[in-house]
Amino acid sequence: MKKWTHSKLLMTAELEYKLIEVRERVDTLLAKQRAARLENNKIKHVKKKSVSKQPESVKPLDLKNYQIKRIGQNSTKQRRIRMKFLGIVIIVGIFFGALEMGGGLDKAIDLMSLIFVIGVAVGHALGAKDGENKITRFGDGCVRGGWLAFLMGVSLIAGSDIAAAMDFGSLMPAMAVALLPPLYGYFFKIITMQLE
């Protein structure tokens, strides 16, 4: 019976020793885990402080400005700009050439219509919201101003004595002038589309 008790005591002592060893390992692992959590929390806290301390006026760095541009990129951009201006020259040449061949520039120029279209377009461009392209707004304003001037011209013609008398000799030149503002509006719209 003594042997069994002695062996039982030895087993118990070994188990206690192993339990103490396991407990020390667990305590070591728990301490490492706590240290890692504290370190992680410190990093998060520092990140939050650094984000919150930035003034609102600081903008992120735009690295595109500092990139090394290849020679081909600049030449492609210059080629696109040249092609845009060539397109504008072609459009203006065809427009004024057609007016000249069709009866002369004097019949296609009306200062009041031109002022009306450009005035509405400038007002429309000045009303651009943040992020909107003012050139696009100007072109859209030209088209709208042209149609407004057309409607105004037709209503003035319809209310005149010439329309009441049905004098086509005087009515047709007035209608030709009333048709000029939409022409100006679309002409300027095409030019602004090239500039966008």
CB–CB of 116/162 below 8 Å? Answer: no
pLDDT of residue 180: 94
Rounded to an integer, the average pLDDT of 21-38 is 87
pLDDT per position as a tens digit, 77-124: 888 888 989 999 999 999 999 988 988 888 888 999 999 999 999 999
Residues with Cβ within 8 Å of 180's Cβ and at least 6 positions away in sequence, in order, are 108, 110, 113
What is the pLDDT at residue 146?
A: 96
83 vs 122: CA distance, rounded Å: 26
**8 A C-beta contact, residue 191 and residue 91:** yes
pLDDT in tens, 45-62: 666 665 555 556 666 666
For residue 175, the one-letter residue type is M
- pLDDT attached to residue 145: 96
The answer to whether residues 136 and 192 touch, using CB atoms and an 8 Å cutoff, is yes
Rounded-to-integer distance, Cα 100 and Cα 15, Å: 112
Domain ranges of the chain: 1-59, 69-195
Query: Which of 160, 161, 157 is closest to 172 using CA atoms?
Result: 157
Tokens at 162, concatenated: 């010439």
Give me Rg for the CA atoms of the chain: 41
Distance CA 186, CA 192 (A): 10
